[in-house]
Amino acid sequence: METQDRNSSLITLTTMQNLTLSLGILLIILGAASYLGTGQESVTALIPSFFGILFVLFGWLGKKESLRKHMMHAAAGLALLGIFGTIGAIPGLIEAIGGGEIERPLATYARSAMFLMCVGFLIRAVQSFIAARKQA
């Protein structure tokens, strides 16, 4: 039974490592699309890409079993930072959904997308950490 619990914990961490890589790739694409969509006017449109690069790095380093737990916790912390940095876009998104006019719609949509991705990732990370803790 103990071997099964250890393997289950390893599967959870491996899944998180793959999810981290996937999130990183999505954020890189989001940042590049935002930058191109704004006519390459503002480097701040690349912020999701910078976060994405870090997520990819954490996911890649997480392939090494001795670093996996550390990298997944670092990725969760980065997701929390991403949430704090993008939560301000949500009122604008709600305004846009309600049919209102917003000043920079593309920026609002990109920030809202990053917010939702980071929230989803953080929820999954916490669930993974709790499951791993129960199995330890």
Does residue 131 have a pLDDT over 90?
A: no
Task: Decide which of 83 and 129 is more confident.
Answer: 83
Tens of pLDDT, residue by residue over 9-61, are 555 667 889 999 999 999 999 999 999 988 888 899 999 999 999 999 999 99
- pTM here is 0.86
User: What are the Cα distances from residue 89, in Å, to 21, 67, 116, 125?
Assistant: 24, 34, 11, 23
Round to whole Å and give the CA distance between 59 and 91: 31
Cβ neighbours of residue 83 closer than 8 Å, sequence gap 6 or more: 115, 118, 119, 122
Alpha-carbon distance of 48 to 45, in angstroms, equals 7
Weakest mean pLDDT among 26-35, 70-79, 97-106: 97-106
The domain of 73 spans 2-135
Q: How many domains does the chain have?
A: 1
Q: What does DSSP assign to residue 93? A: H
